[in-house]
């Protein structure tokens, strides 16, 4: 007997800042929302963010200056209209977060309305609103508390989305649109059917496709892979931001040392103590992340070093501890006193600048499907994300998507067909889970070696060959055995890896975060194009075209 599917007006997939911001706005407007969570919101990538949120609040600053800095960092690929829209919306986004209870760090305790602003790499002004050095945690704690109390929001916890359900897949009459999704309940092991009039993908990035990353284990590109399989375009996947300063320590896992440490005067040094960033860029430690990451990578390869060192010991100890209490406390757990010792650091995969193509309202190519945050390609980040624009993007596009979804739900739509249950009639339990873990390890290692900070045509060809073999093995396993969380994530990561390699092969230049030693020159900005992939139109190479 068929199980009756869960039914919502809107299902939000993901519990980071993008997901919770749109869920809260919709629920406050009287819309019934289900929020699908792999892990608690306080364990999302948003919650791990240390630095802050960019907004032109200082009288000496302006949205125009914020736009200019974003365009410089984006290396000719930002969409100016989108950048202007986000920069102008930034002060309002900060006010909305304060209304949700987020307590940002003030200039002094006696004047809580005057927010302290810090500066990060690529910014010409102090414009980073922050909550000490754990902004993401403060933001997500406040929003999660509201979400848990909200009567209009149903939390679907400990579940991972498997695939979107579309009218096209069901061969329904009328135009293709999103009807809901299948999700694995990790507690019961059963796949559930969830129907919705609109689905919002807010699943974060895909940095777990690399061996070393600053991201939580949930960053497996689920939304990007599902949208691609549902027929949506994906763009600019070659632009993977490697954060320059991830803690290098045998017991530390994915601990990022904030960009703000360099913003407050931290210097990068070699093991012999020599400062090296001025040799690579006149902006030194305040250069954009792609420049700093490549410089560190080059110095490590040149000298055969395991790491470099981030040194802020020349600043007063009290000032350092005031600015970075959480980082200092975490480092002490590993025996490092950042006021007296340089911090060992290495680059690590940090942010996916490409993703699902959306408009300024978060709408994808598939009617009824929206996407917000790191899983998207909106035109904001271009070839390299400017520091602290990511949390901002989540709030701004969460508001825009809310407006568009309300308009969509107000329109009369055709009756949705009955959604079929997940079919497990021809599969068995997995016989060798070791295949999944081995494929996972192989994928992440060859992506790190061949599609990392510095690439070559030969490395990309090797990665292409390996990902095609893995894809066939994973497809066979997926088709014959009951799915598990690990298999779902491996399938998605393999798809993301293939999209990343395809985009990297298509770009015949080096730009922003994509550096290919065989084509090191950058084309004139007037010739800059997004790398857009279209499902079924081509699975190998896509022409470069402006989104």
Q: How far apart are the C-alpha atoms of 234 and 224, rounded to whole Å? A: 8
Nearest 5°: the CA angle 246, 252, 254 is: 45
Q: Is 294 left (phi over 0), alpha (psi -120 to 50) or beta?
A: alpha
Task: Write phi, then psi, for 224 (nearest 5 degrees).
Answer: -60, -45
Q: How far apart are the C-alpha atoms of 108 and 87, rounded to whole Å? A: 26
Inter-residue contact 26 to 62 (CB < 8 Å): no
Q: How far apart are the C-alpha atoms of 133 and 312, rounded to whole Å? A: 15
Strand partners, 474: none
Question: Residue 526, class by beta-carbon neighbours within 10 Å (0-12 exposed, 13-18 middle, 19+ buried)?
Answer: exposed
Q: How far apart are the C-alpha atoms of 337 and 174, rounded to whole Å? A: 64
Q: Tell me the pairing of strands 308-311 and 343-352.
A: antiparallel
Longest Cα–Cα distance in the chain: 71
Taking the CB of residue 137, how many other CB atoms lie within 10 A of it?
Answer: 18
Q: DSSP string covering 446-497, please?
A: HHHHHSSSSB-HHHHHHHHHHHHHHHHHHHHHHHHB---HHHHHHHHHHHHH
Q: How far apart are the C-alpha atoms of 520 and 242, rounded to whole Å? A: 18
Give the distance from CA 355 to its chain's centroid.
Answer: 9
Q: What is the CA radius of gyration of the chain?
A: 23
Q: Which of 289, 294, 330, 385 is catalytic?
A: 289
Task: Write phi, then psi, for 385 (nearest 5 degrees).
Answer: -75, 130
DSSP-H helix ranges across 264-324: 289-303, 317-323
Return the percent helix, strand and coil in the chain, to nearest 5: 40, 20, 45
Q: How far apart are the C-alpha atoms of 387 and 119, rounded to whole Å? A: 9
Q: How far apart are the C-alpha atoms of 306 and 125, rounded to whole Å? A: 34
Inter-residue contact 247 to 309 (CB < 8 Å): no
Answer yes or no: 289 catalytic.
Answer: yes
Q: How far apart are the C-alpha atoms of 309 and 312, rounded to whole Å? A: 10
Structure token digits, residue 15 = 């519990």
Give catalytic residue positions.
289
């Amino acid at each position: 007997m068929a199980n009756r599917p869960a039914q919502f007006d809107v299902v939000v997939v993901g519990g980071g800042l993008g997901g919770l911001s749109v869920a809260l706005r919709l629920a406050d407007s009287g819309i019934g929302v289900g929020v699908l969570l792999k892990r608690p919101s306080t364990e999302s990538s948003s919650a791990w963010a240390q630095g802050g949120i960019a907004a032109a609040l200082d009288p000496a600053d302006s949205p125009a200056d914020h736009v200019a800095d974003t365009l410089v960092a984006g290396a000719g690929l930002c969409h100016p209209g989108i950048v202007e829209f986000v920069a102008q919306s930034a002060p309002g986004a900060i006010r909305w977060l304060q209304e949700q209870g987020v307590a940002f760090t003030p200039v002094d305790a006696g004047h809580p309305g005057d927010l302290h602003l810090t500066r990060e790499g690529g910014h010409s002004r102090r414009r980073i609103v922050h909550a000490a050095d754990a902004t993401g945690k403060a933001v997500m704690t406040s929003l999660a508390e509201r979400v848990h109390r909200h009567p209009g929001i149903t939390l679907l916890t400990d579940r991972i989305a498997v695939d979107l359900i579309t009218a096209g897949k069901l061969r329904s009459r009328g135009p293709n649109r999103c009807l809901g999704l299948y999700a694995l309940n990790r507690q019961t092991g059963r796949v559930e059917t969830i129907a919705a009039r609109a689905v919002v993908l807010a699943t974060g990035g895909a940095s777990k496709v690399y061996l070393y990353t600053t991201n939580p284990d949930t960053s497996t590109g689920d939304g990007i892979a599902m949208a691609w399989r549902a027929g949506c375009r994906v763009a600019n996947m070659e632009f993977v931001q490697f954060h320059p300063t991830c803690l290098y320590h045998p017991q530390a896992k994915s601990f990022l040392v904030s960009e703000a440490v360099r913003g407050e005067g931290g210097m990068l040094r070699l093991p012999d103590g020599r400062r090296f960033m001025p040799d690579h860029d006149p902006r030194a430690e305040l250069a954009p992340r792609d420049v700093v990451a490549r410089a560190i990578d080059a110095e490590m390869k040149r000298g055969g070093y395991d790491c470099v060192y981030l040194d802020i010991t020349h600043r007063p100890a009290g000032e350092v501890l005031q600015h970075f209490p959480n980082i200092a406390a975490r480092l002490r757990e590993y025996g490092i006193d950042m006021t007296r010792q340089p911090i060992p650091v290495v680059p690590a995969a940090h942010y996916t600048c490409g993703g699902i193509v959306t408009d300024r309202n978060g709408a994808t190519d598939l009617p009824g499907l929206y996407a917000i945050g790191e899983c998207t390609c909106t035109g904001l980040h271009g070839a390299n994300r400017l520091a602290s624009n990511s949390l901002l993007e989540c709030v701004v596009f969460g508001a825009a998507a809310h407006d568009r979804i309300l308009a969509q739900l107000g329109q009369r739509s055709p009756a949705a067909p009955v959604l079929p249950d997940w079919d497990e009639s021809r599969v068995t339990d997995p016989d060798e889970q070791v295949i999944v873990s081995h494929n996972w390890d192989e994928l992440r290692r060859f992506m790190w070696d061949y599609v990392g900070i510095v690439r070559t045509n030969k490395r990309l060809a090797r990665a292409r060959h390996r990902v095609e073999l893995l894809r066939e093995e994973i497809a066979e396993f997926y088709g014959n055995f009951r799915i598990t969380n690990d298999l779902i994530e491996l399938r998605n990561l393999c798809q993301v890896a293939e999209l990343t390699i395809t985009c990297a092969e298509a770009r015949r230049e080096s730009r922003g975060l994509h550096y290919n030693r065989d084509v090191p020159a950058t084309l004139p900005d007037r010739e800059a194009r997004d790398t857009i992939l279209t499902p079924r139109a081509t699975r190998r190479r896509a022409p470069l075209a402006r989104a």
